[in-house]
Amino acid sequence: MIARTAWTTPLLDVDMGEAIGLLDAMQWVKELNMVHMDFETGSKTVADSIYGKDGVSDFMAIINDCRHLLSTDLVNSYVSFIMRQASTIPC
């Protein structure tokens, strides 16, 4: 397991931010020559879009870049939705 943190300044909706984060992660592991990866996202929309229908939007342009990496450089990789829960601390 590897991890990385990145910071971006534009305000984005959650799904667009998740898509950009996924694309960034895919490009990073490609640079590291790690081609067998399981990517997890907290956005069901992003995960479904990777394996779903085509569309025309800025969001789908990012998804199409992810699809391209999955079909060329990361052929043994997979993207899945993992529901995240926030932890709560009792008062």
| pLDDT tens readout for residues 7-65 | 877 788 999 999 999 999 999 999 999 989 999 999 999 999 999 999 999 999 999 99
* Distance between CA atoms of residues 34 and 82, nearest Å: 21
Exposed e or buried b per residue across 44-54, where buried means at least 16 C-beta atoms within 10 angstroms of its C-beta = ebbbebbeeee
- Tens of pLDDT, residue by residue over 23-37, are 999 999 999 999 899
E runs forming strands in the chain? 38-41, 78-81
pTM above 0.95, yes or no: no
| Residue owning tokens 């990073």 | 28
The amino acid sitting at 6 is A
